[in-house]
Structure 1
């Protein structure tokens, strides 16, 4: 089987935009609503991702264990972050905005500029220009978030946002490596234009764990440090 391609074909771009336009407001509304809607969303997503992972790896025991950690840790991280009574809602909004902007920046800069490949043996369509675009876009979200929440450490949050944006792109590469290992293009087809749920949230999985770890070490949401 031919190696999977990462960039969508032009014909699939409209489907991607429409799917994102429909799903993003729903997700944001559920994050805003909190308990029990957010827990239901995360549980449903975990079940779908578990199904996709089992299908991807063919039920191999070792890979199932990897999948349990790969899916379970981010789900725990998301629930833990949202449960923060001080800034849980704001942290999730910021995290989602960082990941989504990093994805958009990577795609836009990669397509417009091109240039040297970031990891040609893992994801041949990803470029260093796209990576720079991803962290730059994430940093802009950090600045906007700091201004919106009237935080004083604007540049500090921009830096943290850029770091989380980079972590999310690392998650994208991990997912690409796994799919290349199993010679598949997508983990599923549940989201038109995006493939499977794992294809859509690969960056969020690693970014959520990263933010949760920083929150534990810093004894509170990153937003409360500013």
Structure 2
């Protein structure tokens, strides 16, 4: 076993242990992880897109908003996170429109990083259902990622998005999606002693969202000629390289819950209740 592979395995085990422990504990430990992801994702996004070079003032403003969102995740009122982020995005968009140095990567970075932490906290919540919901999302994303790789290598075939990520195939995408649905449905079945078509359908949506997230990050890195989002994680690159699929799956779960709550009038509906039809 090579040194680089050993480094990758060790880093993966350490990261998995931290994330699973924080998820199990919930509360403040999980919020620390969510806040760190918010900060590190924006750091990597801004580094890849060179926001500091292109728009120093806007970049400084974005850091202020990300800091406020991360602080609110840790110590504030969850109901204020979206207004904080939304106000920052609107202001950043106006800065982009009014200034020559403005770039749409600025408001995009606030949304991508801010919603990463906000959606994670919303899914985890403070109860047992939130724990199962978070593990459900993990099961979808991790199973999709692992089986997409192995099925794609074993079967091959037409490329999924050759201009963005030449290594990905349609066979891998379909195999990963099937695996994600099976793993997540099995977890939900164990937790609630029943199988629901609704839950399987949600797993399908989250699996697709996860793969879109992976492709989206690949597009950004290719657009700016970057191999890894950073070197923060030994043997793995950056945080965005590890959470790209998870971020989009969390986005999907959170935003679908908000849309469902708005349509049904269930304003206090939790993400867990939406995912499992509770």
Secondary structure of 2:192's match?
Answer: coil
Q: What TM-score, normalized to structure 1?
A: 0.88
| Mapped partners of 1:208, 1:201: distance in 2 | 10
> Are 2:21 and 1:29 aligned?
yes
| Mapped partners of 1:70, 1:18: distance in 2 | 28
Structure 1 unaligned spans of 5+: 1-9
Please show how residues 114-125 of structure 1 align to structure 2 within 5 Å. 114-125=156-167
Q: CA deviation at 1:66?
A: 1.0
Higher helix share: 2
**1:223 to 1:65, Cα distance in 2 relative to 1, 3 A:** closer
What do residues 29-57 of structure 1 show as CA deviations (whole Å, max 9, x unaligned)? 10111111111111112211221111111
Higher CA-based Rg:
2
Calculate the aligned-residue CA RMSD, in Å: 2.0
Structure 2 unaligned spans of 5+: 56-102, 262-268
Segment drifting more, 97-106 vs 55-64: 55-64
**1:214 to 1:84, Cα distance in 2 relative to 1, 3 A:** farther
C-alpha contact 1:105 1:130 (8 A) present in aligned 2: yes
Q: CA deviation at 1:24?
A: 1.0
C-alpha contact 1:142 1:154 (8 A) present in aligned 2: no
Residue 252 of structure 2 aligns with which residue? Answer: 210
Q: CA deviation at 1:73?
A: 1.2
Residue 50 of structure 1 aligns with which residue? Answer: 42
Residue 189 of structure 1 aligns with which residue? Answer: 231
C-alpha contact 1:99 1:207 (8 A) present in aligned 2: yes
| Mapped partners of 1:181, 1:140: distance in 2 | 34
Please show how residues 147-166 of structure 1 align to structure 2 within 5 Å. 147-166=189-208
C-alpha contact 1:142 1:161 (8 A) present in aligned 2: yes
Q: CA deviation at 1:114?
A: 1.2
Segment drifting more, 47-56 vs 118-127: 47-56
Residue 92 of structure 2 aligns with which residue? Answer: none
What do residues 98-134 of structure 1 show as CA deviations (whole Å, max 9, x unaligned)? 1111110111111111110001111111100110121
**1:114 to 1:26, Cα distance in 2 relative to 1, 3 A:** same
C-alpha contact 1:87 1:223 (8 A) present in aligned 2: no
Q: What TM-score, normalized to structure 2?
A: 0.72
**1:167 to 1:64, Cα distance in 2 relative to 1, 3 A:** same
Aligned length: 217
